[in-house]
Structure 1
Amino acid sequence: MGKRILVFDPQITGHHSEYLDHIISYLLEDTSGDEYYFIVHPSIEEKLPGLIKVANLKTHLHFEYLSTGQDQELAGKGLIRRSFLEHKMLEHYAREFKIDHAILLYLNTLQIALPFRKRAYTVSGILFFQYYRMTKTTMLQKLKYFRKELTMKWLVGSRGLQSIYVLNDQESVDYFNSRFNTKAFKLLDDPIPDLVPLKDFDIRSHYSIPSSNKILLHIGSLGSRKGTYEILETVEHLRKASSYGFTFLFVGKFSNEQERNEFSNKLDETESSPSLQVIWEEDFVSNNKMKSLFDQCDMVLTPYKFTEGSSGIIGHAAKAKKPIIVPNRSLLFEIGNKYGISVPVESITYKDLTNCITNFFSKMNHSKNIGDLTYPNTESFSKLLLGGKCAK
């Protein structure tokens, strides 16, 4: 008799739908006898309509969608409150489906509540923004680091914890396993899927972008931590600093309504002209359109305000062979440098971003040929996350 495995991911922004796409696609041909229960946001049906339709025909794949009430209960909650609310949902579905193992696609939220309960099932999860690489210059930063280390120590001691997957960072994996005397931490390479661009899509005609403009793409979940405001501030300064024409293309949504409104207001106040455009498509676009945007832009902007986190955007930029602005001395820089596409910015300010962009294009820098590199694929990602088993 097979196991009953629960995949828990109540969020939909950013990487969430992409990871679910990889896992569900991988499990379509699974013949192990295991049963999989996906607890997911209802918007996943809109994001992956064809895949979900096919998956619903498979007797070993089951989908439970958060109700409007559950989604509203989680919305806007602080980290601690949300952690216990999500844990309550996890326990509810674990009992209902009598699961043997739970895979948490975003462990960061649940890591606070998990140690409070003993459980009959085992747990694995993906850890984003691990703290090992955090800047520890100020006293406040040191206190934050210490708090995160205590939280991690408590999590590692949790009953039933099986694996903690760290994205793209073997150095952090080695540190955590040594620091906490465990083998629970494992490297999980962020997959770079082979996407197909939209047929006959032309980015310039679609957005009415002049042929002479350099297109700077900022895509995904938008917000203050992603340097979104600083990018917008850069517009006026580029007008004076460069003879090139630029189009800043923002594609994505804010998870925080207050930040969304603040950005919208600043966007209305920003002067846009043919030689210096600002365009915002407030949507999470399809994978095919996303592929087209990466292929046809001139530069990708990820001036994120964290040194410890990874991002799937790096992989898409690498596949498209596009230069990408990343914070210097960060995990993002190291990953991008491996692919030869990193353009480091010293600090996340409009001044440094302006200098970074103008210097790059004035010197006509080019990324090295990265066509022969090997990229992590979605099958190896799914296989490891599901416990090392091969579905096919």
Structure 2
Amino acid sequence: MRKKLVFFDLISTGHHLEYLYHISENYSLFKHADITFAVNHDFVSIYEDKFGRSVNKGIKINTLTEEESQIFSSKSGFKNYYFQYKKLRSILKLGEYDSCFIMDIYPISFFLSFSRLPCSLAGIYFIPIFKNTKDFSSKLKRSVLKCVIAKNKWNNIFVLNNPTTASILNKEYGVSIFKSLSDPILDLKKLKTIKEDSEVFKINFKNKISFLHFGSLADRKGTLEIIKSLNYLSPEILSNIHIILAGKASRDFENQIKTLIEEFNISNYISFYSGFLSYTEIDYLLTKCSYVLLPYKFSEMSSGIIGHSVNYNTPIISCDNGAIGDILVNYKVGIPIKPTAKDIAKVIRFLKTSDFIIDVELAKKYLQLNSDEEFVNTIIKSVCQ
């Protein structure tokens, strides 16, 4: 008997879009399931523009109307989450689905804590909140999640690329629904290359050791620590390195970055590009840079950037604990450090005179374990077997 699955996600950027891409590209693996994407009004056009191809014709697409999309984008916070919850309920009532995959369960988790949806659920893009996180917001999220688990029927809640964390969460909540899911690597080299006019392509990488920090830029990503690290380097070291900060930042954080660069008088050593990067730009940066620098302060989750970097055989400098630390050590794809300005400066000094080379064979193993096929097969097993 064929299963009816719906993937619900009204966000059309970043990992949200990429995960639906992997499902579409591996649609042939869903031999016993019919799939619907419940997505935003502009999903199809963004998808085609981003990837240079169409969603698999076998997948049904259920989009918001243009009016609904405008209402959704006009709301923020709790009102936005309530809109998503109401839309999800209406979709599930009409579709008679066997299972619903909610790409990000936190926005509507409050409502799911006292409401039972009419099919089994799974969460994909899940960022865990641990007991040792003491702030009120985190405590509230843990309590709400406990109610959500009790109220609804869950096939799985997937934690990206981290079986250890999945085991800890199962023990904490007294369940067996948390599972590790491969963090699928998007092979940028296979995507359609689009010629663009971008300042990114004007970076001069010659004769300098370059450190690329890209993705969403934020304090928790260690962006400011990178800038501060240059204060600990001699003029000789600085003259031989180039830091590239590239990615989307909030207006306030963008101003913080610019202020700090100006205050430290280090604009000659840093290139800063604010905004979403196209895959063509990411491909260019990863092809040219020496190292990828990710001094994340929160290290329990994997990062899609790690997969991109490994796919280009570009060594990674990142945190020495959590899931990311384990990846760097176990697969020998980078250098683990403390995510502080002093430690960033220390590793830059080290790399001035020494090279780090990825273990190619272990890197291949990592790529295989986190392939798009592994990602899709795990999802299939959770509902179809």
TM-fit CA distance, 1:331: 1.6
> In the alignment, residue 172 of structure 1 is paired with which amino acid?
T
**Partners in 2 of 1:365 and 1:147 — Cα distance?**
43
Residue 164 (str. 1) matches residue 163 (str. 2):
no
Residue 154 (str. 1) matches residue 152 (str. 2):
no
TM-fit CA distance, 1:188: 0.4
TM-fit CA distance, 1:217: 0.9
**Partners in 2 of 1:373 and 1:68 — Cα distance?**
44
Q: Tell me the secondary structure at the aligned position of residue 211 of structure 2.
A: strand
Which string of whole-angstrom CA distances, capped at 9 and with x for unpartnered residues, describes residues 42-97 of structure 1? 366335437686327x25421414612212213xx2xx555434322322332344
Residue 280 (str. 1) matches residue 273 (str. 2):
yes
**Partners in 1 of 2:89 and 2:275 — Cα distance?**
35
Q: Pick from 122, 125, 129 the counterpart of residue 124 of structure 1.
A: 122
Which string of whole-angstrom CA distances, capped at 9 and with x for unpartnered residues, describes residues 332-354 of structure 1? 111222221232222x3323322
**Partners in 2 of 1:135 and 1:307 — Cα distance?**
14
Q: Tell me the secondary structure at the aligned position of residue 188 of structure 2.
A: coil
**Partners in 2 of 1:135 and 1:327 — Cα distance?**
18
**Partners in 2 of 1:200 and 1:245 — Cα distance?**
30
User: 1:342: which partner in 2?
Assistant: 334
Bigger drift between 188-197 and 161-170 goes to 188-197
Q: Kindly, what percent of the aligned residue pairs are identical?
A: 23
Residue 304 (str. 1) matches residue 296 (str. 2):
yes
Bigger drift between 121-130 and 95-104 goes to 95-104
> In the alignment, residue 92 of structure 2 is paired with which amino acid?
A
Which string of whole-angstrom CA distances, capped at 9 and with x for unpartnered residues, describes residues 282-324 of structure 1? 22212x4423322321111111121322211111222222222
Q: Tell me the secondary structure at the aligned position of residue 367 of structure 1.
A: coil
**Partners in 1 of 2:205 and 2:117 — Cα distance?**
59
User: 1:86: which partner in 2?
Assistant: 84
> In the alignment, residue 157 of structure 2 is paired with which amino acid?
I
Alignment TM-score, normalising by the size of structure 1: 0.82
TM-fit CA distance, 1:252: 1.5
Bigger drift between 143-152 and 228-237 goes to 143-152
**Partners in 1 of 2:110 and 2:328 — Cα distance?**
31
TM-fit CA distance, 1:243: 5.4
User: 2:348: which partner in 1?
Assistant: 357
Contact 1:252–1:285 (CA under 8 A) maintained in structure 2: no
User: 1:260: which partner in 2?
Assistant: 254
Contact 1:294–1:320 (CA under 8 A) maintained in structure 2: yes
C-alpha distance 205-164 of structure 1, shift in aligned 2 (>3 A): closer
Note the 1:315-326 alignment, pairs <5 A.
315-326=307-318
User: 1:34: which partner in 2?
Assistant: 34
Which string of whole-angstrom CA distances, capped at 9 and with x for unpartnered residues, describes residues 174-223 of structure 1? 2233343322111101122333175999x999223151111111111122
**Partners in 2 of 1:224 and 1:267 — Cα distance?**
15
> In the alignment, residue 225 of structure 1 is paired with which amino acid?
R
> In the alignment, residue 175 of structure 1 is paired with which amino acid?
I
RMSD: 3.4
**Partners in 1 of 2:123 and 2:115 — Cα distance?**
16
User: 2:184: which partner in 1?
Assistant: 191
Note the 1:67-82 alignment, pairs <5 A.
67-74=69-76, 77=77, 82=80
Alignment TM-score, normalising by the size of structure 2: 0.83
User: 1:381: which partner in 2?
Assistant: 375
> In the alignment, residue 11 of structure 1 is paired with which amino acid?
I
Residue 46 (str. 1) matches residue 46 (str. 2):
yes
**Partners in 1 of 2:246 and 2:347 — Cα distance?**
21
**Partners in 2 of 1:334 and 1:166 — Cα distance?**
15
C-alpha distance 305-14 of structure 1, shift in aligned 2 (>3 A): farther
TM-fit CA distance, 1:22: 0.7
**Partners in 2 of 1:144 and 1:187 — Cα distance?**
25
C-alpha distance 277-225 of structure 1, shift in aligned 2 (>3 A): closer
Contact 2:294–2:316 (CA under 8 A) maintained in structure 1: yes
Q: Pick from 204, 225, 228 the counterpart of residue 233 of structure 1.
A: 228
Note the 1:178-217 alignment, pairs <5 A.
178-196=171-189, 206-217=201-212
Which string of whole-angstrom CA distances, capped at 9 and with x for unpartnered residues, describes residues 84-140 of structure 1? 3432232233234443321111123333331221221221112533234x756xxx4
C-alpha distance 41-9 of structure 1, shift in aligned 2 (>3 A): farther
Contact 2:85–2:108 (CA under 8 A) maintained in structure 1: yes
Unaligned runs of 5+ in 1: none
C-alpha distance 315-55 of structure 1, shift in aligned 2 (>3 A): closer
Q: Tell me the secondary structure at the aligned position of residue 67 of structure 1.
A: helix
Contact 1:10–1:39 (CA under 8 A) maintained in structure 2: yes
Bigger drift between 323-332 and 59-68 goes to 59-68
C-alpha distance 345-117 of structure 1, shift in aligned 2 (>3 A): same
Unaligned runs of 5+ in 2: none
Number of equivalences: 375
**Partners in 1 of 2:205 and 2:12 — Cα distance?**
34
User: 2:63: which partner in 1?
Assistant: 64
Contact 1:204–1:211 (CA under 8 A) maintained in structure 2: no
Which string of whole-angstrom CA distances, capped at 9 and with x for unpartnered residues, describes residues 229-271 of structure 1? 22233344435472552222222212x3432343344456564
C-alpha distance 113-239 of structure 1, shift in aligned 2 (>3 A): farther
> Larger helix proportion, structure 1 or 2?
2
Q: Tell me the secondary structure at the aligned position of residue 234 of structure 1.
A: helix
C-alpha distance 90-320 of structure 1, shift in aligned 2 (>3 A): same
Contact 1:301–1:326 (CA under 8 A) maintained in structure 2: yes
